[in-house]
Amino acid sequence: EAQVTQNPRYLITVTGKKLTVTCSQNMNHEYMSWYRQDPGLGLRQIYYSMNVEVTDKGDVPEGYKVSRKEKRNFPLILESPSPNQTSLYFCASSLGTVNQPQHFGDGTRLSIL
Partner 1 sequence: RKEVEQDPGPFNVPEGATVAFNCTYSNSASQSFFWYRQDCRKEPKLLMSVYSSGNEDGRFTAQLNRASQYISLLIRDSKLSDSATYLCVVNRTPGKSTFGDGTTLTVKP
Q: Per CB under 8 A, does 82 bind partner 1?
A: no
User: Among candidates 60, 1, 63, 2, which has minimal Cα distance to 33?
Assistant: 60
Closest approach, Cβ 80 to partner 1, in A, equals: 26
Radius of gyration of the chain (CA): 13
Kind and range of the H or E element at 36? strand 31-38
- Say how many CA atoms lie within 13 Å of 2 toward its Cβ: 10
Contact between 24 and 108 under an 8 Å Cβ cutoff? The reply is no
Q: Which is nearer to partner 1, 55 or 85 (CB)?
A: 55
Q: What residues numbered 7-46 form the site for partner 1, per CB under 8 A?
A: 31, 33, 35, 37, 40-45
- Residue among 53, 59, 70, 79 that touches partner 1 (CB under 8 A): 59
Q: Per CB under 8 A, does 74 bind partner 1?
A: no
- Residue among 27, 50, 77, 95 that touches partner 1 (CB under 8 A): 50
Contact between 47 and 55 under an 8 Å Cβ cutoff? The reply is yes
Binding site for partner 1 (CB under 8 A): 31, 33, 35, 37, 40-45, 48, 50, 56, 58-59, 88, 90, 97-107
